A and B are shown apart, each in its own frame.
Chain A
Amino acid sequence: MARDSQAALVALNRFGLGARGGASGDFLNAASDPRGFVKAELARPSGVLLEVPGLQSTAALGKAVFDYQFGIQQARDAAAKAATPSAAEGQPPADAKIQRRNLSLNSIAMDMAPKEPASEAAKPAETRDAAMAPADAMRPNAPKPPPAPLNIIQKTFRAEALARLQRGVMADCGFIERLVAFWSNHFCISANKGGPARMWAGSFEREAIRPHVLGRFADMLKAVEQHPAMLFFLDNQQSLGPDSRAGKNRNRGLNENLAREILELHTLGVGGGYSQDDVTALANVITGWTYAGRLGRLGAPGTFVFNANAHQPGARRVMGKIYSAPDVTQGEAVLADLARHPSTAKFIATKFARHFVADDPPPALVARLADVFTRTDGELKALAMALVDSDDAWKAPLAKIRSPYEFLVASGRLLAQIPNDPGRYLGALNTLGQPLWSPAGPNGFADSNAAWAAPEGIKLRLDISAQIASRLADGVDPRDLLELVAADAASSETRKTIERAESRQQALALLLMSPEFQRR
């Protein structure tokens, strides 16, 4: 087959996470069979799961975070008793504060940096803090005070982040990882909600998203809405049926948060035909959907449980249909019907095409994807295949800008740097406005050029690119990297700009910022 560099660029950038550097041969492979290159990952469904030694189940993590928080609470109570009554009030949770520590622009690229040779072992620590203080230069090997040890929540979050980043940097094409990120953002939670959310952000994606990325939408929907992370994020563990035993005893009631987002964000979409009555009805239907707490009265701590005592009894009408089952199956039946609703097909197809192809995707493409979604009853692998098979998806110009996550992972791939510490990536994602697993609202991160090609964002990308380049350019030839990124699909202007750069550092920064690298 003839080499098609333009199609290789589409395969790698639009569908994947960019070409890997080194001897991967990604660009040549993609150029010789662009669609095959993208689809190859879909043929290896085991590649979607993320099973890394040390990553634990949501239940185990739940137990750990409950115990941890219980210990802190006990310590606080004891301290409050000992001190003045107001002393322990008003302190934000320690972990949220500490998580933000050190996530400055300063620390971004080091993670991508190669292992320092032994002779330079003292360098990173020096580099970090020696700015503006030549006096420090007198003691190049002076030890730094050790940083405070990470707590269980921070350790877990970093381990989960690292596993995801490593997978992204190493994946053959990255199409599956792009799909994971898409669905994870569609069904987002925010790690900033609190300790359990931060603890579960990774396991939520591993357990509720990944197994279904090439499976059925309905299964993903159910797994998501019954996952403790989602129930915690959208407060459903607090929602009590007003007429349930718990509701009466505790004089509390309904919380519509999860029900509204299921309809508005997860399935039908705004304007998808639901009313406030549907929201309220669904909220009632899913009362009792919660997770077991530390004491495990309802089940193993950290597992999904249906609490019949909190469930609002009786039949409910949702989207014109009556659901009368008395237990958890009532809500499961609603979700199953929402999953195959025509509004859902249209909403998902639009969002899918917008993410992969264009802010305003070709209507014909959206229609075809919606049709596939409907005909296959929400087979997500078929949806992905339909996208790759669509000529529209290959013909449309590479007009979208990579999200910060896509940009940073693509940089790591190109520079063949498998991260061994997530710190710099997390810092860079914060700086660029896409903190990992922490969107500002339940609608997830925006998926448009307007969001990511904003002036301050582009300027910061340039700073970050320069920082990456200052650490990594010495061992590479940016002219060779351009061949790996775009080969003869590179524009002559980009080629000239890189060839004429005054140093490898500058050339690499310019390559990372080039349209060929930023657009997908």
Chain B
Amino acid sequence: MNDCCEGLRSSAVSRRGVLLGGASFAAWAYLPKFARAADGRDPRLVVIILRGALDGLATVAPLGDPDYAGLHGSIALTSNGPNAALPLNAFFALHPAMPEFARMYRENKAAVIHAVATSYRDRSHFDGQDVLESGFAGPGRVQSGWLNRALEGLPKGERVTGALAVGPTTPLVLRGAAPTVGWAPVALPQAAEDTAMRLVELYQHRDPALAAALKQGLALDKAAQGDDMRPKPGANGVGAMRLVARGAAKLMAADDGPRIGALAFDGWDTHANEGGPVGRLAQLLGGLDGALAEFETGLGPRWRDTVIVVATEFGRTARINGTQGTDHGTGTIALLAGGAVKGGRVIADWPGLKPNNLYQGRDLAPTTDLRAVMKGVLKDQFGLADKVLGESVFPDSGAVKPMQGLLA
């Protein structure tokens, strides 16, 4: 299973085999590893949420799928040319803005789960994020997240210290009864450029006077700051991702530091001018890549026992829209990185991109429940029991079995 996606193009059997293959690694995963601190293992888990619905097809591109290039059009990645995608296997290639993740993948310390989604099938960011973070099957006003409830599920002596919530507010995924500590590296995030652009758009339709004022104010602001393409340290955006990760890694590297952390990066809602190998999404992916590298460096010896899970609320349309972007879709990717990951694999029950295979004729069809991924990580990393995972961490999800063998 060095390359779990070989031969995917042709056969349903091999598609199915991808997931089953993992089982062979996982015989010992039922042991509560977290309880075995005596063997020197001291696991860490970081959950990174990408808000705005990441284009999984642009990040880990199915170059081997004959329909990919046509659907993704001008922003499709290619296997050659000046900004060629980084090959992961014969079928999938990684966005060129992510060399660090590619290296981790080669070192078998990073993996991709493709065609994955939560149980949410509509297209609202808020509701999608609710489902992703709450761990419930549908959107609701739940005020606790699955990661916090996972913490609650640990024997009290093993919670070590409160989980780390990075950012000005605790992400929902980490809110709840179990203690958390907060840390925010950003003094005052300036309103993200994306927010400003959306507001300009609204004003242009509804309030021309405010549109003129805001545009001028933004221009003044840029002029005052000089090169507006340079990431502002401490501000939202690409530059901040490394900064956030660096601080979080230092906190979590400490002997008495938090074992579990959660953070969120904004800006993935690429409706227009998404860009291909270069452009807006490329910048964001570069920031994410840098953040992963910061965790690797900052966690030092702890990296060996670390898993970072990168997830997003849903994917984007398979076909690009009229403004060189993508709209709200369904299936997408999740990324795993860290020394504890059984990496070097793209795990996918690949549904294909033929019109009939697309979900609602638009989206990459989800074939893997994201909860199975999360459950698998929690089970292997912290020894949480299926019953706890199926009832309290992800309520009413007994039918969704933990994915096996994700960790080394």
Interface residues of A (CB under 8 A from B): 105-106, 119-120, 122-123, 126-132, 134-135, 137-138, 140-141, 401, 449, 453-460, 462-463, 465-467, 470-475, 477-479, 491, 493-494, 497, 499-507, 509-510, 513-515, 518-519
Contacts and interface: CB of A to CB of B under 8 A. Distances in A.
B213 A137 contact: no
B142 to A, nearest CB: 12
A443 B205 CA distance: 36
A513 B199 contact: yes
B217 A456 contact: yes
Contacts of B271: 500
A120 B51 contact: no
Contacts of A466: 189-192, 195
Contact of B125 (A465, A501, A515, A518): A501
Interface in B154-200: 162, 165, 167-172, 175, 179-192, 194-196, 198-199
30 contacts: A105-B188, A127-B168, A130-B184, A130-B185, A130-B247, A131-B187, A132-B233, A138-B254, A140-B181, A140-B182, A455-B214, A458-B217, A463-B190, A463-B191, A465-B191, A466-B189, A466-B190, A470-B169, A474-B170, A474-B175, A475-B143, A497-B202, A500-B269, A500-B271, A502-B53, A502-B266, A503-B51, A506-B194, A509-B195, A515-B210
B315 to A, nearest CB: 14
A426 B181 CA distance: 28
A491 B206 contact: yes
B267 A502 contact: yes
Contact of A455 (B187, B201, B220): B220
B189 A477 contact: no
Nearest to A466: B191
A120 B181 contact: yes
A493 B250 contact: no
Given A466-B191, A502-B53, A131 B186 contact: yes
Contacts of B187: 106, 127-132
Contacts of A122: 181-182
A515 B207 contact: yes
B246 interface: yes
Interface string B373-406: 0000000000000000000000000000000000
B209 A459 contact: no
- How many chain B residues sit at the interface, stated as a range, is 35 or more
Given A134-B243, A505-B266, A497 B198 contact: yes
Contacts of A128: 187
- The 5 closest A-B CB pairs, nearest first, are A459-B217, A131-B187, A502-B269, A502-B52, A455-B217
B206 to A, nearest CB: 5
B107 interface: no
B247 A458 contact: no
Contacts of B219: 455
A91 to B, nearest CB: 30
Given A106-B188, A140-B251, A449 B126 contact: no
Contacts of B268: 502
A455 B196 CA distance: 13
B51 A502 contact: yes
Contact of A134 (B141, B172, B250, B267): B250
B206 A494 contact: yes
A134 B247 contact: yes
B203 interface: yes
A105 B189 CA distance: 10
Contacts of A456: 217, 220
Contact of B209 (A449, A470, A513): A449
A119 B246 CA distance: 23
A192 B201 CA distance: 40
A457 B185 CA distance: 26
B316 to A, nearest CB: 12
A458 B210 contact: yes
A24 B47 CA distance: 37
Contact of A127 (B184, B198, B233): B184
A134 B185 contact: yes
Given A504-B129, A515-B207, A130 B183 contact: yes
Contacts of B214: 455, 458-459, 462
Given A120-B180, A459-B220, A497-B201, A510 B195 contact: yes
B221 interface: yes
A467 B199 CA distance: 15
A504 B52 CA distance: 10
Contacts of B171: 474
Listed residue (B195, B219, B264) with the most chain A CB atoms within 10 angstroms of its CB: B195
Nearest to B219: A455
Contacts of B179: 119
B265 to A, nearest CB: 10
B184 A126 contact: yes
B43 interface: no
B220 A479 contact: no
A503 B217 contact: no
Given A140-B183, A466-B195, A470-B167, 6 more contacts: A122-B182, A134-B250, A455-B216, A474-B171, A475-B143, A478-B126
Nearest to B129: A503
Contact of B199 (A453, A460, A462, A479): A462
Interface string B285-326: 000000000000000000000000000000000000000000
Contacts of B217: 454-460, 462
Contacts of B206: 491, 493-494, 514-515
Contact of A138 (B172, B220, B250): B250
B234 interface: yes
B273 interface: no
Given A134-B243, A137-B183, A455 B192 contact: no
A462 B196 contact: yes
Contacts of A510: 195, 198-199, 202
B60 interface: no
B218 interface: yes
A120 B182 CA distance: 6
Contacts of A120: 165, 170, 180-182
Nearest to B233: A132
B250 A509 contact: no
Nearest to B171: A474
A507 to B, nearest CB: 7
B124 interface: yes
Contacts of A501: 125, 195, 198
A504 B126 CA distance: 6
B203 to A, nearest CB: 7
B222 to A, nearest CB: 10
A122 B179 CA distance: 12
Given A137-B183, A471-B168, A506-B198, A459 B221 contact: yes
A471 B220 contact: no
Nearest to A472: B169
A497 B268 CA distance: 16
Interface in B218-273: 218-221, 233-234, 243, 246-248, 250-251, 254, 264, 266-269, 271
A123 B129 CA distance: 24
A135 B233 CA distance: 15
Interface in B84-129: 124-126, 129
Listed residue (A454, A462, A478, A518) with the most chain B CB atoms within 10 angstroms of its CB: A462
B251 A506 contact: no
B51 A119 contact: no
B329 to A, nearest CB: 14
Contacts of A471: 168-169
A462 B251 contact: no
A501 to B, nearest CB: 7
Nearest to A449: B209
A394 B187 CA distance: 43
Contacts of A475: 143
Contact of B185 (A132, A472, A513): A132
A453 B189 contact: no
